[in-house]
Homo-oligomer: A and B are copies of this chain.
């Protein structure tokens, strides 16, 4: 008689597991600048310099890193035109568009509710000051 050992089943992806690759993908999509790059590109393709102006506060280095991460993940398409001076356009892939739509909705939600949050912050701070 032999005992058959069932093959290990891969665990389903779970962002709560620090070792799960989906955790890393979530971190890219929700990174400080990743969120804003995805939301911006949902409107239209952008050149690097335009994107840098549009997203307030982003450094050239952080924008380049963020775009590279999102390109590697398959969310952003980089189109380098062979012209002088060089021109590089960034746009969303189909996969990136799906992520961007959700991120964009969250960004719009925070804009709509910023006053609720500020009131909550005031109440919290007053309760602790007294």
Interface residues, chain A, CB within 8 Å of chain B?
A: 12-23, 25-27, 29-32, 35-36, 39-40, 54-57, 71-75, 95, 98-99, 102-103, 105-107, 109-114, 116-121, 123-125
Contact = CB atoms under 8 A, between A and B. Distances in A.
Contacts of A123: 74
Select the residue from A17, A36, A106 with max chain B CB neighbours within 10 A: A106
Contact of A15 (B18, B30, B107, B119): B107
Interface SS, A side = helix
Given A13-B111, A15-B110, A124 B25 contact: no
Nearest to A105: B102
B121 A29 contact: no
A111 B15 contact: yes
Contacts of A75: 117
